Amino acid sequence: MVRAVGVAIAVGVRVAVAVAVGDSGLLHVQLGIATASELRSHPRLGASWEGFVVEQVRTLLRAEGDECYFWRTEHGTELDLLVVRGRVRWGFEVKRTSAPKVTRSMHSALADLALDRLWLIHAGERSFPLGPKITAVSWLDLANRLAGSTAT
């Protein structure tokens, strides 16, 4: 979990910390989900997946709460996780799909937040480049890709 603060990181750009339940088991209890079958058919499955993956990324990077942010514009453009370490800015988007694609939000995040890299973490089995500075990372490959603090 990260602190609820707002930070100006560029002229006219603000980020805020979203409150997310990092313990997916706790979230499932709160939602009344008792079985894997119930989870697969629950309308909050995507939110559960996102919270789980964001917590895994935060843990793998050993990112402190004051380094982690959620970004959203008034027009609905968003980024699930922004990690800021000094001058380095990494973006993470989480999608529960096996066929990830680049979105307008990702292009906006790259430009508006001056991201050094953006990772689209997905439920598929392969990791592959999606474009300049954007990599689709399989959740199966997440630990290998983010081991240490360089997030290469």
- Residue of 90, 16, 15, 95 whose CA lies nearest to 52: 95
- pLDDT for 71: 85
The one-character DSSP state at 101 is: -
- pLDDT for 139: 86
- pLDDT for 53: 84
CA dihedral 108, 109, 114, 118 (to 10 degrees): -120
- pLDDT for 83: 93
- pLDDT for 17: 52
- pLDDT for 22: 56
Question: What averages of pLDDT result for each successive group of 10 residues across the chain (152 residues)?
Answer: 44 54 56 62 63 85 88 84 92 92 93 94 93 92 69 47
**Element containing residue 45 per DSSP (H, E):** helix 45-61
